[in-house]
Amino acid sequence: MSPKKKIVKRVKAKKKAVEVKEALLLQPPRGMRDILPQDQPYWQQVRRVTEKAAADFGYRRIDIPLVEFMNLFSRSIGEGTDIVEKEMYSFSTKGGEKVTLRPEFTAGVARAYVQHGMHVAPKPVKLYYIGSCYRYDRPQEGRFREFFQFGCEALGEQDPVLDAQMIQMGWRVIFQLGIRNVKVYVNSIGCPACQKSFRNLLVHYFESKKQKLCIDCKRRLEVNPLRILDCKEDKCVQVKVNAPQSIDHLCDDCRIHFKELLEYLEELEIPFELDSTLVRGLDYYTKTIFEFIPTLPSRDESVSENEERIKKNALGGGGRYDGLVKMLGGEDTPAVGFSLGLDRLVAEMKKLGAKFYREPKPKVFLAQLGTFAKRKSLRMFEALERAGVMVAESFGRGSLKSQLKVADRLGVEITLILGQKEALDGTVIVKDMASGNQEIIDAEKMVDEVKKRLKK
């Protein structure tokens, strides 16, 4: 091959390689998705109900960055947890900082609490949030890599009444969304003192069964033995059936705290299940932990309640984290919180055919013909909106006929028609869509007239 041909071939190959590299995949990365307009009413409903509950209980909104320093999560959620070990979207910035897309909110909220000196505010400091989280998990039903959480955190109060209030709020939101087939599972994993002796017992127990554990759990036995309890590998699930349970090893203080919480839940008539195998996959928890799990209309009796819980996707969960703020450099601050997974709430609502929020529909349509009329109708549109009247229009459409078709399709009560003549005369035609009657009115009085007719 001649040198010239060789060069041409090389250039062509290079061009092709660039093309391959730049091929555009018309889809988001795996585990992420668009929420299309037809699904928005469900999301809107979830946002309305959650934000209303937060306001009713006195929680104020906080927004935190989507990206935080990586060590915020590795320290607070804990080395040895699935989230930190396998699921974080971490990367180095151009400036060399190691950062992570938030896999959850609690760590970031606690960081903000310390950073902004919120400890001086009246206690408890009640905060809520809503937004996206990122976990590089294996996508499957109800599990995404980008998902959305609503959550509340109350910082600065150790009374178990707050733990109960968190469960009450989560329960209320789920109920108000029309989801009734839910159970609350609660447990206590105690304070650091109880956890220390419990950890020793666990190590002792699992050491004797080490051969039966998965590779990850063999390592966890050294690093973080408590995490073996939330391993979902079949063989580990078998081994942990007879493992010691935290609830049997609580100190007096933690036992009383837990007992009081259960009494509050009884008072609130929230159906709960005490589940001593519940551990949750985050290290910052102390004392109370809980989860909201959907139940099937009929239970598979061959499966234990515990196994059933593990298999299901929780709609939400939370617990107390009395040591987190101090660990991040703040004052000793007891705290408790919960988060709900919005994607799972929406999925459950759809499954149950639950009601969703319907946007209010416009009652007036504004039709116009000609450039001058169009200019005038822009003003009319503004005047009606300011007066609180929802208006639809199709400024881009040509003929009056096609505009009236749109008005018909929208089911409005009144159509205002502004032609060149009306625009010059300072009038407007009001068409009653039900009767088809038309009347010419003074444009100055248009807003009052429309309001009067809508009232009728």
Shortest Cβ 217–ligand HAM spacing (Å): 19
CB-nearer residue toward ligand HAM: 105 or 381: 105
CB-nearer residue toward ligand HAM: 226 or 443: 226
Q: Which of 39, 51, 137, 233 touches ligand HAM by CB under 6 A? A: 137
135 binds ligand HAM (CB under 6 A): yes
316 binds ligand HAM (CB under 6 A): yes
284 closest CA partner among 341, 344, 227: 227
149 binds ligand HAM (CB under 6 A): yes
143 binds ligand HAM (CB under 6 A): yes
Shortest Cβ 51–ligand HAM spacing (Å): 17
278 binds ligand HAM (CB under 6 A): no
Q: Which of 228, 314, 428, 450 touches ligand HAM by CB under 6 A? A: 314
Q: Three-state DSSP class for 257?
A: helix
Q: Which stretch binds ligand HAM (CB under 6 A): 33-41, 295-303, 338-346, 443-451?
A: 338-346
Read off the amino acid at residue 186.
V
318 binds ligand HAM (CB under 6 A): yes
147 binds ligand HAM (CB under 6 A): yes
317 binds ligand HAM (CB under 6 A): yes
CB-nearer residue toward ligand HAM: 278 or 414: 278
CB-nearer residue toward ligand HAM: 162 or 364: 162
Place of tokens 């005490």: 274
The answer to whether 371 and 422 have CB atoms below 8 angstroms apart is: no
Read off the amino acid at residue 154.
A
Q: What is the DSSP letter of 268?
A: T
The answer to whether 272 and 186 have CB atoms below 8 angstroms apart is: yes
Torsion over CA: 416, 421, 426, 427 (sign): negative
Q: Which two tokens stand for residue 443?
A: 């444009």
184 closest CA partner among 192, 175, 193: 175
Q: Three-state DSSP class for 364?
A: strand
Q: Three-state DSSP class for 216?
A: helix
For residue 315, CA distances in Å to 94, 145, 339 come to 37, 16, 9
User: What CA–CA distance (Å, rounded) separates 320 from 323?
Assistant: 9
Shortest Cβ 321–ligand HAM spacing (Å): 6
* Per-position DSSP letters for 87-105, written without gaps between them: I--EEE-TT--EEEE-S-S
Q: Which of 76, 246, 339, 415 touches ligand HAM by CB under 6 A? A: 339
Q: Which of 156, 160, 337, 419 touches ligand HAM by CB under 6 A? A: 337
The answer to whether 44 and 37 have CB atoms below 8 angstroms apart is: no
Instruction: Give me the residue whose beta carbon is nearest to ligand HAM.
Output: 341
Specify the DSSP element, H or E, that contains 69. Answer: strand 67-69
Shortest Cβ 335–ligand HAM spacing (Å): 8
Sequence-ordered strand ranges (E) for 190-285: 272-274
Total residues contacting ligand HAM (rule CB under 6 A)? Answer: 25
CB-nearer residue toward ligand HAM: 108 or 362: 108
Sites of contact with ligand HAM (CB under 6 A):
104-106, 135, 137, 142-144, 147, 149, 151, 153, 314-319, 321, 337-339, 341, 343-344
